[in-house]
Structure 1
Amino acid sequence: MDLTKDLNLWSEIRCGNKHALAQLYDLHVKALYNYGRKICPNTALVEDAIQDVFIDLWRYQQKLATPVSIRFYLYASLRRRIIKEDQRNASAIRFDFQWDDINLISLSEEARVIQHEEVHAQSQLLKYNLNNLSPRQYEAIVLRFYDELSYAEIADLMQVNEQSVRNLIQRGLEHLRQYARLVISSFVFLMSVL
């Protein structure tokens, strides 16, 4: 994202430019939607929360300070809005992250027939491991590696200290690394047998 463009649009919004608000929305709506869906399974709630964030930007345009990172400001606003609405609806925030539709690398037909049980077991183990990341680990990993936020920004967003974010990410990655080691060793074994 172009920080200068974001800051220019922000400045224009503060001056009452509706077109700048629309441009800022267009620049960030996909990323906000993706992030929102990761922390809330209710699509309608996520869409409404995004709309509310931008409505509030317009409503409070005169009072807006210029944040260091517009993208971080939008993520934090969306997260607060979703949590607020979710609590209002008396349901807990959770991640909508299921790996039931995962596609593993396709082997040749012959190898697939021979190793069907092994592949099925590995697929189930992968789903199990990914679904067993804590929601906080998954959120921190997504924000760091997919959305490219800094550790400090993630800490502010998740309302924890920076070291806690680093620990969450490290533990989540270690969990996934252990699974990767198992898969690689199994794959090497399968290739040596075939």
Structure 2
Amino acid sequence: MKEIELRLLEQIKRGNEMAFVQVYDKYWKLLFNSGYKRLQKREIVEGLVQEVFVEMWQKRKSLEIHTSLNSYLYTAMKYKVINQMKSQMVKEKYVAFVTSKKLSFGSEVEENIFYNELNDAYKKEVSSLPDQARKVYKLKKYQDLSYAEIAQEMQISVSTVEKHMIKALKILRNNLRNYSMSLGVLCLLNSGVF
């Protein structure tokens, strides 16, 4: 590893945010480009890049890099992309399965009840997000503001907006996971598989 990278890494381990910002500024575009080549979805790739940096910051005290900072970050991004691709493949297979079987969830009344329950759960989870994360999420989701516009509106930095958005999405994914699993089980039950 280059001497300058070693110094930056040591400063990051000690919690020096400016050193972290230097690394972020230097490698963000490289990581974004490598992810975009494979996924071709800007928002998803931006989120994955942010996850790489957030995890790096969270693990900074125990961070051990034996090659180079570039290799470490590139490899971390590569695994994020692979996991995203696996997740997307599962979703696509599920959609193909549902389409091929022309599944019905039951009567229209049952479908409406399930949709309303899911929608209520989603609204409840959004409203229970931490204040800043909830505000960022709502400005992005409902007003379609860019991260820069949100940062200006809330008078915080763009990186802080990104951190709040990552936090909000992670909480929503985890807390609504049971509903998506229930939907899958319901589809399989109605298909006659079980």
In the superposition, the TM-score normalised over structure 2's length comes to 0.43
In the superposition, the TM-score normalised over structure 1's length comes to 0.43
Larger helix proportion of the pair: 2
